[in-house]
Structure 1
Amino acid sequence: MTLSINSQNISIYEFNEFQLTLFHTKSTEQHSNELNHYFSEVLGNTIKVSCVEKNNQILLSINTKTLNEITFEIYSDSNNIRISGGSGKALQRGIAFFLETIGIIKITEKDWFLKKDKQLSFPSHFYKKSEPDFVYRYLYYPGNFNKDFRSWYQLDGIDQDFGIWGHSYHKLMPPSIYFKKQPELFALFEGERNSGSICYTNGRTQEIFKAELKKIIKKNPHAKFFSVSQNDDEVYCQCNRCEKLNKKHGEDRGSHYVFLNDLAKEFPNHNLISLAYLHTSQPPKDLHLVHNLYIIYCPINLNRGISFAEDPRSSDMRATLKNWTEATENLFFWDYTVQFTDYFSAFPNIHTFQKNYDYLKKEGIKGLFIQGSADIPSHFYELRQFLLVNLLQNTEINVDEKTLDFMEMFYGNAAKYVSEYLNLFTKNQIDSNSYLSIYDNPVKQIETFLSPEHMSDYNQIILGAEEIVRKDSKVYSRIRDLRLSLEYTYFQQSKFFGKDQHGMFIKKTNDDDYEIRQNLTKRVEDFTKHLNGKGVYEISEMGLSPDEYYQRWLEIINYANITSEAKKLKINLLTQPSEDFKGKGAYGLVDGVRAYKDYNINWVGWYGNDAEIEIELEGQQVNQIKINFLENQRHWIFPPVSINLFGIKDGQKVKMKTCHFPELIENENIKIISKTFNNLDTNNYSNLILVINNRNLPIWRKRKNKKAMFMLDEIEIY
């Protein structure tokens, strides 16, 4: 292995002849060791280190006089290569740039790629001074959990930079300590004191926050930021004094930002930072934030299928961002880049990254927090994080070229197949123009880019990829990750299709009953084992573990299949369900398949209103009707107050029976609640009408602009 400098005249200086050495000072000794570590890991040998400066060296230095803390500088002459950084982190990025230039690239947290296997060269008389396009760069992907990957791409770390992080009201003033004895310190919301937020105008509240921050600052004197952010909720104080500030500075957020501004003034030499999120996402009116108060704008409900820089549906977000840049000079942006409900399903938003970040840079955004799948190896996470870390450095890179490079480095001979797969599901999403939400799922997109027809096309491409790299175990394993993403999508959709084509159940031979498709459960088991083998502990944000997913699959097999004894009478929805939760409509309520605990699959929901549903008897006698409801309080899904059953006789509604639901109890469990009308006599009626009465939100889930939803999955008629 030779390492050389070549000039424009192609004269070669062979460092194996001139004995290339690595020069460092005491302040750069760690970085010298890291560079040698990279050479050792990739090339299998190291460079000798010299403490004497001479020719034929790589010289490392930290230069705080002419370089800022995020800038590196690299230049070479005919003898030496000099790499400097305004900080240790910047120097590390300079070293990474040097290595990338000679052909050594860190493509994932686990994988290196060596472009040239005989001679590594660096041009002489070269100069580059560079700093990232964003002063703060945090990437929440598996690469974030690897020190070498973070160093290579000059990523920032919350653990190192924050004295206190995230939603922090409950940390600074714990309800467990204060709420019972001093409820007046907390928000007066919907007429009740609520521990979900604070009373901003109670002087004692600010005293407690100040005292806690002083303790935290003392423990973390070198932290760059201290988070003072609302809890992950939409509770805010509506007491008279807070409402006056809300009215003056902006609806439900005015008192919030006045409080933060005043608190920041108490710590002029430290940077406080706060999430502009949910009800605080809009900037305050007629209030400019002080110099040491930073804001992270978190627009969570955006269409991710088109760049928010150009999507007409994101115009409100762009206007809000413009207003924020006028309210503060210290604006960061929180970007959500994966599908949080299903990490392993395709989520075609990669093509939007460059336009989004170039737009944010031009709008004056100083820092980016990019939320991905944490340490979960989600669908295409390797490509996602590779493009994102490069865009954080320079939003004007050639993304198509970077993507092609990555495909060839990571997928080898299968690169053209994987590129075709990525391009096809991206094209199908763009052509559908459907709204792509971070809370989507494989069922939501079943008529767009994840239709059964498209799924078949994707499968054929992956089959081709598997075949061409079958003898390359490393690349074949990477293709298998993509294969199991398709498998997971199929599993989820098979629950939705139920007993129809593509469903999880098929008709038994010479029988009216149904059974699970052959080998389907074995495929789910293989998927589970694969994820466990990769150390995956959840398949969605705060979701099921692979083993729990498999256990629920077994439970669904036994629970979902309704006996053929249930009558197939026609159902008419006299009141239409919510557009977002219409499922399969009326057919879905008599398709012979019970839904389980995922509200996205086979449930039909009515949001904030009652519902009337007609059952056409067609001259048949009905003895029993069973209805299943879902309770998921976290998502505002509750059982209704009551159900009234009416018979239609001579065109008039005659009440037959009423069923009431018990009082609600606050809980976080997801439950299925069944109600049954027994011993019915329907001989005198032409049709039946179910009137389902929705409820008001219980006090513990009251939020602005929120209503209760009830969901049902099947009307079983016997």
Structure 2
Amino acid sequence: MSLTLYSQNILIFEADEFQLSLFHTEATKQASDDLNHYFSEVLGQTIEVSAVEKNHQILLSINSKTLNEITFEIYSDQDNIRISGGSQKALQRGIAFFLEEIGIIKMTENDWFLKSDQKLSFPAFYHKKSEPDFIYRYLYYPGNFDEKFSNWYQLNHIKSDFNLWGHTFDKLMPPAEYFEKQPELFALYEGERNPSSICYTNRKTKAIFKKELNKIIKQNPNAEFFSVSQNDDTVYCQCQKCEQLNLEYGEERGAHYVFINDLAKEFPANNLLSLAYLHTSQPPENLHLVHNLYMMYCPISVNRGRSFAEDSRSAGMRTTLKNWSKTTENLLFWDYTVQFSDYFSAFPNIHTFQKNYDYLKSAGVKGVFSQGSADIPSHFYELRQYILANLMQNTEINLDVEIKNFIDMYYGNAAVHVLNYFNRLTSNQMNSNSYLDIYDNPVRQIKTFLSPENMSEYNQIILNAEAAVSEDKKMSKRIKDLRLSLEYTYFQQSKYFGKDQHGMFVKESPEETYTIRPNLTKRVKDFKNYLNEKGVYEISEMGLSPDDYYQRWTEIVNYANISPKALKVDIKLLTQPSEVYDGKGAYGLVDGVRAYKDFNINWLGWYGNDAEIQIDVEGLQVKYIRLNFLENQRHWIFTPQSIRLSGIKDGQKIKIETLNFPELTENKTIEISSKTLSVQDSNNFNDLVLEIINRKDLPPWRKRKNKKAMFMIDEIEIY
């Protein structure tokens, strides 16, 4: 194919008559090299580079006098095309826009699309001047780890923009260095000094922060931002002086913002950034922040299944954003756009992106950090990053058109089926009105868009997609990525269903013996191997690797299947578990399958209260009862304080046995504790009653305001 550029019925360049060339200066050499690289990679040919300006050229320039650093401008007449940018990055975006106009699309970090295999066209007498809708645009997806993709969409980079990023209190004043000798520098929280935060009113604290910041700024004085942000926790100082500032400037956040604001005044030539997160999410009261302090609002607990602007469940977030826009002129937004607990499970929220970003722009947000799956290729990540990268440039794109265009480009002959799959996922989620949490999971949505009936429909659609590209290896691999997302969802749900329909275990014989479903473990192993081949090192934010996932699967296969010797009993929950962690209800405690280390699957949890469970043993000879408890201290799940077993006879409760749990010790691993209660003379009782006494106080290392202890139980095994 010749490199020929046309206008609408007006010839600009015809390669048969003259040679198209490229003019650049020393300042634009990198942009010139990039443009030629794109032509070479997509078209298999490059453009002649000329050191002299003449007709029939693409002329590149950096013009910082009339264009700001994020603006590009394109002008064409009957002879030339001129592309200018206020900076190198803006020029590179201008080149990308030009290439998109003539039909060359950068879809992913690895893939291009050429709209026509005939002639490439660009109009004569064309003019466009453009800048992105957000001044800061960071996309935490695989594409932004690729320089060409990043340049194409004019994306920012944490490594170059920030010398200090994220949660930084621990970095600026490390507890390992200061806490033991000077605990007064740290937060007085719930009556004790806590290294998870600082004392804002201690003069030495500010001096240490100032000294460390000076050191860091000297190391990289050209960095755009330096983050001074709380640790990833809700601890704050409650000493008398800090509480006075909290009272004056806003509950538990007042002293925090006075401290950050005062620190920013010490560095007027540098931009400090702080995260408005958890207990500091709300803006301070009666305090306008200084010009060089940027705030990044991080609403972690927002429904992702509806747009921010429309969902009644996001009303509080909208109010907070409005208040922030009154408090600072430098407002950024941390957007959470994937399911962090299960990167490979469907998370249908792409339909919200355009309305969300248009709303953020109208609310005065100047920049967006869109957090995805980092460098991990998660479910539909290619489409997600493509849409988000374009929205950061222009929030007014037609979302439906862009989604269809991308799917057509990326999935070829399978596109009609993939679009059907995408639309069915989205419509099922919207029709269910289910709350999408960024720490959601395939089991929580088992009655909504990931129900067995819907899963069966998705499976058939993907079968159709596979058939449509069966002779195309590249496209088949892309469909396989979608197939394995369904596989992962099925694996997770099969643990929940256990020995029931759709479960991981099937009945082997009339003797009620169950065994793992045929070929299921091999499918899990194939899933693990495929992810390893793709270089996927974790399948969730918590760092679970494909190998670890397969190892846990094999452990579950051996651990979860309860012996048929366990007696079948009826139980009744006399006190109800937490609504969020009610699993399969009472049946889930006697379904013949032990829950493992994922608290989302089959565990029942009581949050801040005790449990009373009645077991019908009439006509049964019971010798002992085994109870299984989960301990996951990171999520405030602890073993209970004690268990009391009683029998009911003639309406009277008769004590049988009491078992006390030991004092808690700090534990960062996930553990399962099994306890056995002996029963004598069970024939004397119609019912047994289990009373499980929750812990009244949290241990010091996990004590947080308004938090209570939860215990989780599964299964109650009667022998």
- TM-score band by shorter chain is over 0.9
Deviation at 1:17, TM superposition (A): 2.7
State the partner residue of 2:76. 76
State the partner residue of 1:539. 539
State the partner residue of 1:39. 39
State the partner residue of 2:416. 416
Deviation at 1:2, TM superposition (A): 2.8
DSSP-derived class of the 1:683 partner: helix
CA distance 1:99–1:7, shift in 2 (3 Å): closer
Deviation at 1:4, TM superposition (A): 3.5
DSSP-derived class of the 1:370 partner: strand
Q: Is the 8 A contact 1:139 1:370 kept in 2?
A: yes
One-letter identity of the residue aligned with 1:419 = L
Distance 2:24 2:716 in 1: 76
DSSP-derived class of the 1:648 partner: strand
State the partner residue of 1:187. 187
State the partner residue of 1:282. 282
State the partner residue of 1:622. 622
One-letter identity of the residue aligned with 2:320 = T
One-letter identity of the residue aligned with 2:533 = G
Are residue 689 (structure 1) and residue 679 (structure 2) matched? Answer: no
Distance 2:394 2:644 in 1: 63
TM-score (norm 1): 0.99
Distance 2:517 2:280 in 1: 49
Deviation at 1:434, TM superposition (A): 1.2
Are residue 251 (structure 1) and residue 276 (structure 2) matched? Answer: no
How well do the aligned residues superpose, as a CA RMSD in angstroms?
0.9
Distance 1:415 1:638 in 2: 48
Where does the alignment leave 5 or more consecutive residues of structure 2 unmatched?
A: none
State the partner residue of 1:228. 228
Q: Is the 8 A contact 2:190 2:705 kept in 1?
A: no
1:162-189 alpha-carbon deviations (Å, 9 max, x no partner): 0100000000000010001100000000
Spell out the pairing of 1:615-694 with structure 2 (5 A cutoff).
Answer: 615-694=615-694
Deviation at 1:115, TM superposition (A): 1.1
Moved more, 705-714 or 13-22: 13-22
Distance 2:356 2:16 in 1: 46
State the partner residue of 2:716. 715
Deviation at 1:420, TM superposition (A): 0.3
Distance 1:403 1:431 in 2: 20
Spell out the pairing of 1:408-487 with structure 2 (5 A cutoff).
Answer: 408-487=408-487
CA distance 1:28–1:660, shift in 2 (3 Å): same
DSSP-derived class of the 1:460 partner: helix
Distance 2:269 2:615 in 1: 69
Q: Is the 8 A contact 1:5 1:124 kept in 2?
A: no
Q: Is the 8 A contact 1:645 1:655 kept in 2?
A: yes
DSSP-derived class of the 2:82 partner: strand
Distance 2:281 2:7 in 1: 53
Distance 1:370 1:517 in 2: 40
1:559-582 alpha-carbon deviations (Å, 9 max, x no partner): 000001101111100000000000
1:469-499 alpha-carbon deviations (Å, 9 max, x no partner): 0000000100010001000000000000000
One-letter identity of the residue aligned with 1:702 = K
Distance 2:680 2:54 in 1: 99
Q: Is the 8 A contact 2:12 2:79 kept in 1?
A: no
Distance 1:11 1:457 in 2: 51
Spell out the pairing of 1:299-378 with structure 2 (5 A cutoff).
Answer: 299-378=299-378
1:281-338 alpha-carbon deviations (Å, 9 max, x no partner): 0000111101000000000111111111110010000001110001100000111011
State the partner residue of 2:706. 705
1:404-458 alpha-carbon deviations (Å, 9 max, x no partner): 1101110001000000000001101111111111111000000000000000000
Moved more, 117-126 or 222-231: 117-126
Deviation at 1:679, TM superposition (A): 4.8
Distance 2:184 2:523 in 1: 56
Distance 2:623 2:511 in 1: 24
State the partner residue of 2:157. 157
Q: Is the 8 A contact 1:391 1:397 kept in 2?
A: yes
Distance 1:594 1:36 in 2: 60
Distance 1:711 1:584 in 2: 13
Distance 2:405 2:579 in 1: 42
Q: Is the 8 A contact 1:498 1:504 kept in 2?
A: yes
Deviation at 1:512, TM superposition (A): 1.4
1:74-108 alpha-carbon deviations (Å, 9 max, x no partner): 01111111000000000000000011111111100
Q: Is the 8 A contact 2:443 2:601 kept in 1?
A: yes
Deviation at 1:123, TM superposition (A): 1.0
Q: Is the 8 A contact 2:625 2:679 kept in 1?
A: no
Distance 1:331 1:337 in 2: 19
DSSP-derived class of the 1:644 partner: strand
Q: Is the 8 A contact 2:84 2:91 kept in 1?
A: yes
One-letter identity of the residue aligned with 1:424 = R
Distance 1:249 1:569 in 2: 58
State the partner residue of 2:407. 407
The share of aligned pairs that are identical, in percent, is: 72
Deviation at 1:678, TM superposition (A): 2.3
One-letter identity of the residue aligned with 1:405 = N
State the partner residue of 2:22. 22
One-letter identity of the residue aligned with 2:270 = H
Distance 1:6 1:688 in 2: 85
One-letter identity of the residue aligned with 1:78 = Q
State the partner residue of 2:566. 566
Distance 1:459 1:623 in 2: 46
State the partner residue of 1:123. 123
Q: Is the 8 A contact 2:628 2:674 kept in 1?
A: yes
DSSP-derived class of the 2:521 partner: helix
Deviation at 1:617, TM superposition (A): 1.0
Q: Is the 8 A contact 2:632 2:668 kept in 1?
A: yes
Q: Is the 8 A contact 1:4 1:122 kept in 2?
A: no
Are residue 588 (structure 1) and residue 588 (structure 2) matched? Answer: yes
One-letter identity of the residue aligned with 2:342 = D
Distance 2:368 2:652 in 1: 63
What number of residue pairs does the alignment pair up? 718
Q: Is the 8 A contact 1:15 1:56 kept in 2?
A: no
DSSP-derived class of the 1:14 partner: coil
Distance 1:7 1:297 in 2: 45
One-letter identity of the residue aligned with 2:541 = E
Q: Is the 8 A contact 1:497 1:504 kept in 2?
A: yes
Where does the alignment leave 5 or more consecutive residues of structure 1 unmatched?
A: none
One-letter identity of the residue aligned with 2:419 = S
1:525-579 alpha-carbon deviations (Å, 9 max, x no partner): 1111111111011111123110111111111000000001101111100000000
Distance 1:676 1:413 in 2: 59
Deviation at 1:8, TM superposition (A): 4.4
TM-score (norm 2): 0.99
Q: Is the 8 A contact 2:62 2:87 kept in 1?
A: yes
Deviation at 1:505, TM superposition (A): 0.3
Q: Is the 8 A contact 1:631 1:671 kept in 2?
A: yes
Are residue 218 (structure 1) and residue 218 (structure 2) matched? Answer: yes
Deviation at 1:213, TM superposition (A): 0.3
Distance 2:332 2:13 in 1: 46
State the partner residue of 2:134. 134
Moved more, 507-516 or 639-648: 507-516
1:583-602 alpha-carbon deviations (Å, 9 max, x no partner): 00100000000000000001
CA distance 1:531–1:7, shift in 2 (3 Å): closer
Q: Is the 8 A contact 2:12 2:124 kept in 1?
A: no
